[in-house]
Amino acid sequence: MGIIRTAVANLDREKKDHYVLVIQAKDMAGQLGGLSGSTTVTITITDINDNPPRFNQKLYQLSMPESAAIGTTVGKVKAEDVDLGQNSEMTYTLKEEDGSDKFSVITDTEAQEGIIILRKPLDFETKRTHSLLLEAVNKHVDPQFENLRSFKDWTSVRVMVKDVNEPPEFISQTNVIDVQEDAHVGSVIGSITARDPDLTNSPIRYTIDRNTDLERIFNVDANTGDITIAKRLDRETAGWHNITVIAMEAGW
């Protein structure tokens, strides 16, 4: 019986995954005149988890509009592992950084990618850049190599928030104004205020939605938001009026 043994201390499947040997057998202890035969032996090197995941890209720069909905995919990251099968499987996690509360990461087990998801709304005016630190770690670590190296790697992600032209916002969404029915036509009975949340802080123009004031009983000053009476009021005819004021950026 012939016994095949390794001639080197360590085999590395990632460098060479198989060997082809020609084995010859001779009778008469190999002396001259003996007969011989040969056979070919193919040795396949099986994989073990001896390599950690590695990010080829140490910094990802992504961008996302501030209007993006929660649950939107911000981007993807990928680490490489030269091992095979389950030995190359990894999990992505988000480490504590200044943007960790705004984002989360899930692992695509098919593509072995980390998918960054938006968890909370973005606001360009409050914060324009978020920095993340992502970790990729092997799921199945071989105990014999666990103390020799770290089976994880990290990459940085910078998410740039893109500005979006946002509509004006009213300081108060609901305003209740009490008016005496004998108030004079043209008198100011109240005022509403809206602001432009964008950095440009564009001037605001106001108008009444006439579908909510068909009789045109009220007017609003386009520049100041002051509401005035355009016709005499009669509590017995109409005890209350519900009107909608629209705020728009000047020039739109």
Q: What 3-state DSSP class applies to 140?
A: coil
Residues of the chain with pLDDT under 70: 11, 14, 29-30, 33, 46-47, 49, 97-99, 146, 148-149, 251-252
Q: State the average pLDDT for the chain.
A: 87
> Strand pairing of 169-170 and 59-65?
unpaired
**Per-residue model confidence (pLDDT) at position 214:** 93
pTM score: 0.68
According to CATH, what is the number of the domain 54-162?
Answer: 2.60.40.60
Nearest to 179 by CA among 104, 220, 126, 238: 238
φ, ψ of residue 145 in degrees (nearest 5): -110, -5
CA dihedral 150, 152, 156, 157 (to 10 degrees): 180
**Per-residue model confidence (pLDDT) at position 213:** 93
Q: Do domains 54-162 and 165-251 have the same CATH topology?
A: yes
The fraction of the chain above a pLDDT of 70, given in percent, is: 92
CA 170 to the chain's CA centroid: 30
φ, ψ of residue 85 in degrees (nearest 5): 55, -135
Query: Tens of pLDDT along 163-195?
Result: 888 889 898 888 899 999 899 999 999 999 998
Tell me the domain boundaries of the chain.
Answer: 54-162, 165-251
**Per-residue model confidence (pLDDT) at position 71:** 96
Query: Tens of pLDDT along 31-64?
Result: 776 787 888 888 777 667 678 899 999 999 999 9
What is the assigned CATH class of domain 165-251? mainly beta
